[in-house]
């Protein structure tokens, strides 16, 4: 984000800032789109793809060589500088011209030496999880109940992975409880089945929507209360993959995956699975078609970003009149059974996000046989529970790149930014994987463990708060300098920044001083304490699943809305901005490389953490954030000292600043992940987040001595002048 400009210091009077740029050879243009979807890693050593710098230029190393008149160009001897120098140096590829491909320059060595689906950000998350694992390995004697619950689930999860325990009987018992039979195996379902109540029950018990997705969050027009939003569910593939045409490869592959999974399930539970081959093939075709129809009826991400268009309040009585084939009361009773006086709470108002989807759903229930709907729901349950059905089913889910619904589901009511790639791979440390799973269903559990384990957390928190304060203040000041905004818009923007809620580290009221755990234990007791008395992982994970919806969503209906709520787990290494609350959350997990380390130089911390903060702040003024006022409701519309890093002595502090920013975005991606990212969410590929940002900033051009016309130094009229 261009916010990098106003957290960077540059002294234009220094002689080494006035040196002429070294001349480079021109190069042939290459097709950026082709590069983006190529099957191979993004930065290949191909002369046809990227022009390398001449070996002679390596003698000069950087365009703007450090000036020994002011600072000697030799590496500091302190261990922290040695450590950071190595950390950045191991990613920098100096055979790339930073003025042609700054991302390749900053990240190529990292990409070439790492494995698929690995990024600096993911490595930071794994490091956090490892620290949580170490804290949980300690004696339980002084642990809070929250820590004991977290430890017990993680230990049970690791044991389950290592021993490959099967819980097929428990899975079948739940299926019988819901439906009394499995249609794709020729069973007859309950004659008095209330499919709508079962949909609500499964959604509450499993944190998995089926045909309707209900979630309680801020009322966008009444900032002091919560409301239930009903929306289209998140399908296992990006909506666009279903939409190309009925003969597209993605849909054919989806049909094959469905058939393979249903076949494997029958092989597990039946002695004569071949008897059901035709039933399975027919069911798979109908399920795939139903998913495609759902995608067609759903809104695109672009449409979902329009909050006003998505805010459609109705009473339950009005819903019954508009969509009579949907048994609203049964669905809501199943979904909200944990909420006292639920009928009174939702009778007067729920909000539909996409009325047109529910119009389709109303027709679908009148035209589709119940067996197909039940088979669709059962398929979703089988994928969610694949790890409990044995190695073969688990492998099918992994090969299909299936993401648990709780992790796939967007946390925003806009339902944009969905995740279609697994955060953790099956060959990761089981404990790391298990901690990630617990975090998805019980966010403050691992978060409390991690925050408590850091002994100097209060000291670091002050420094992080200072970084955030400077970034926000600089952003506010910068608003005054842009010439495309009206005076009214500038006042509105500065007011929004002034009233921004900033959550740093952890939820202080909930976590207390970490010596008294009464508040955090009370928070988890009703929904999660049963785990302390449970002995099998299947029971524990279902307690977690149910606890997630009830604790973090449904019961909020009867609680006042609080803008200062800590938005995410403190153990998630990601800064988050919530437009409907105008709040910024900086978890304690972000206090690690590639974003920040307390004893690292400010050039690194401002570029990493400051850049992440600035990027998220910018969402307050993008196509979604601009729709909200300074308190959340919908509206109509310096580091001057020299210090050189070992192995990178040839780079100035300004250049280290830019390299640190790019380093935090280094990622190894293959075409499937890039395609899913481009098709389904607002987050652009990291190469674009790097190169598109720096090429709009003249400060970068000056720091690296780029010639006008090079890729990172376009002509002035080709730069995007939004905040600069």
Could you report the per-residue pLDDT of 451-484, keeping only the tens digit for each? Answer: 999 989 999 999 999 999 999 999 888 888 877 6
pLDDT tens-digit readout, 268-286: 999 999 999 999 999 999 9
Rounded to whole angstroms, what are the CA distances from 568 to 83, 169, 216, 571? Answer: 30, 35, 15, 8
| Helix/strand/coil percent split, the chain, to 5 | 55, 5, 40
The token pair at 521 is: 């234990």
When pLDDT is cut at 50, 70 and 90, the band that residue 4 belongs to is very low
Q: What are phi and psi of 216, to 5 degrees?
A: -100, 130
Q: How far is CA 88 from the centre of its chain?
A: 25
pTM: 0.79
3-class DSSP assignment, residue 225: strand
**Rounded distance, CA 583 to CA 560, Å?**
17
pLDDT tens-digit readout, 289-344: 999 999 989 988 878 888 888 899 999 999 999 999 999 999 999 999 999 887 78
Domains defined for the chain, CATH in brackets = 78-114 (no CATH), 119-163+404-453+517-556 (no CATH), 167-389 (1.10.1380.10), 455-507+564-641 (3.40.390.10), 653-704 (no CATH)
Question: pLDDT at position 667, please?
Answer: 85
Q: Which of 342, 344, 310 is nearest to 415 (CA)?
A: 310
Q: What are phi and psi of 214, to 5 degrees?
A: -110, 135
Question: pLDDT at position 230, please?
Answer: 97
Pairing, β 583-587 against β 501-505: parallel
Residue 136 sits at the vertex; the CA angle it makes with 134 and 140, to the nearest 5 degrees, is 135
Pure H helices in 184-300: 195-206, 239-243, 249-269, 277-297
The token pair at 85 is: 């120098």
**Rounded distance, CA 135 to CA 706, Å?**
48
Average pLDDT over residues 553-569: 91
Residue 680 sits at the vertex; the CA angle it makes with 675 and 686, to the nearest 5 degrees, is 60
3-class DSSP assignment, residue 224: strand
Q: What are phi and psi of 332, to 5 degrees?
A: -65, -35
Q: Which of 143, 180, 629, 92 is nearest to 378 (CA)?
A: 180
From the CB of residue 369, how many other CB atoms can be counted at a distance below 10 Å?
10
Sign of CA dihedral 258, 263, 264, 269: positive
pLDDT tens-digit readout, 119-142: 899 999 999 999 999 999 988 888
Pairing, β 583-587 against β 576-578: antiparallel
């Amino acid at each position: 984000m261009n916010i990098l400009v106003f957290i960077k210091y540059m002294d234009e009077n220094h002689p080494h800032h006035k040196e002429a740029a070294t001349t480079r050879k021109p190069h042939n243009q290459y097709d950026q789109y082709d590069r983006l979807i190529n099957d191979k890693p993004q930065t290949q050593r191909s002369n046809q793809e990227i022009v390398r710098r001449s070996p002679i230029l390596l003698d000069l190393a950087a365009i703007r060589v450090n000036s020994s008149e002011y600072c000697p160009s030799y590496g500091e001897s302190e261990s922290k500088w040695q450590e950071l120098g190595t950390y950045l140096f191991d990613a920098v590829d100096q055979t790339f011209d930073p003025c042609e491909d700054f991302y390749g320059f900053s990240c190529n060595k990292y990409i070439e030496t790492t494995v698929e689906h690995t990024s600096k950000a993911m490595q930071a998350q794994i490091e956090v999880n490892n620290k949580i694992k170490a804290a949980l390995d300690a004696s339980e004697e002084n642990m809070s109940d929250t820590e004991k619950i977290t430890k017990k689930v993680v230990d049970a999860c690791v044991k389950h992975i290592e021993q490959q325990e099967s819980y097929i009987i428990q899975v079948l018992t739940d299926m019988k409880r819901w439906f009394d039979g499995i249609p794709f195996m020729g069973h007859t379902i309950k004659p008095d089945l209330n499919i709508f109540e079962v949909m609500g029950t499964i959604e509450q018990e499993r944190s998995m929507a089926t045909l309707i997705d209900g979630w309680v969050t801020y009322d966008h027009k009444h900032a002091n209360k919560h409301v239930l939003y009903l929306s289209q569910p998140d399908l296992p593939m990006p909506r666009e993959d279903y939409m190309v045409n009925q003969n597209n490869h993605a849909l054919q592959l989806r049909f094959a995956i469905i058939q393979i999974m249903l076949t494997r399930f029958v092989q597990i539970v039946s002695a004569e699975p071949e008897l059901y081959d035709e039933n399975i093939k027919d069911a798979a075709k109908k399920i795939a078609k139903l998913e495609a129809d759902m995608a067609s009826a759903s809104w695109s991400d672009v449409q979902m970003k329009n909050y006003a268009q998505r805010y459609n309040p109705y009473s339950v009585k009005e819903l019954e009149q508009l969509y009579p084939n949907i048994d609203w009361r049964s669905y809501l009773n199943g979904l909200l059974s944990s909420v006292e006086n639920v009928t009174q709470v939702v009778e007067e108002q729920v909000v539909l996000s996409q009325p047109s989807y529910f119009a389709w759903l109303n027709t679908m229930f009148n035209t589709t046989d119940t067996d197909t709907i039940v088979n669709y729901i059962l398929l979703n349950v089988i994928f969610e529970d694949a790890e409990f059905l044995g190695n073969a089913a688990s492998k099918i889910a992994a090969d299909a790149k299936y993401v648990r619904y709780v992790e796939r589901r967007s946390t925003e009511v806009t339902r944009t930014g969905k995740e279609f790639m697994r955060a953790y791979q099956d060959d990761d440390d089981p404990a790391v994987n298990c901690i990630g799973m617990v975090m998805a269903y019980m966010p403050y559990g691992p978060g409390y463990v991690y925050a408590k384990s850091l002994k100097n957390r209060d000291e670091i928190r002050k420094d992080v708060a200072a970084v955030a304060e400077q970034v926000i203040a600089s952003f506010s000041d910068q608003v005054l300098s842009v010439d495309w905004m009206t005076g009214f818009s500038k006042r509105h923007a500065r007011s929004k920044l002034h009233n921004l809620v900033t959550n740093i580290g952890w939820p202080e009221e909930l976590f207390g001083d970490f010596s008294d755990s009464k508040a955090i234990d009370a928070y988890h007791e009703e929904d999660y304490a049963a785990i302390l008395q449970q002995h099998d992982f299947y029971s524990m994970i279902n307690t977690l699943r149910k606890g997630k919806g009830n604790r973090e969503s449904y019961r909020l209906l009867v609680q006042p809305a609080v803008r200062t709520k800590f938005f995410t787990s403190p153990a998630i290494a990601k800064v988050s901005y919530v437009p409907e609350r105008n709040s910024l959350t900086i978890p304690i997990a972000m206090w690690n490389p590639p974003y920040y380390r307390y004893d690292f130089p400010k050039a690194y911390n401002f570029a990493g953490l400051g850049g992440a903060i600035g990027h998220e702040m910018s969402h307050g003024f993008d196509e979604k954030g601009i729709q909200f006022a300074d308190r959340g409701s919908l509206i109509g519309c310096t580091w001057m000292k020299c210090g050189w890093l070992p192995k990178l002595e040839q780079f100035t502090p300004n250049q280290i600043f830019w390299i640190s920013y790019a380093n935090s975005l280094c990622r190894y991606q293959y075409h499937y992940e890039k395609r899913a990212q481009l098709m389904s969410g607002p987050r652009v590929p990291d190469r674009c987040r790097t190169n598109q940002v720096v090429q709009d900033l003249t400060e970068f051009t000056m720091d690296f001595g780029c010639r006008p016309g090079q890729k990172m130094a376009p002509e002035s009229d080709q730069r995007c002048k939004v905040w600069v």
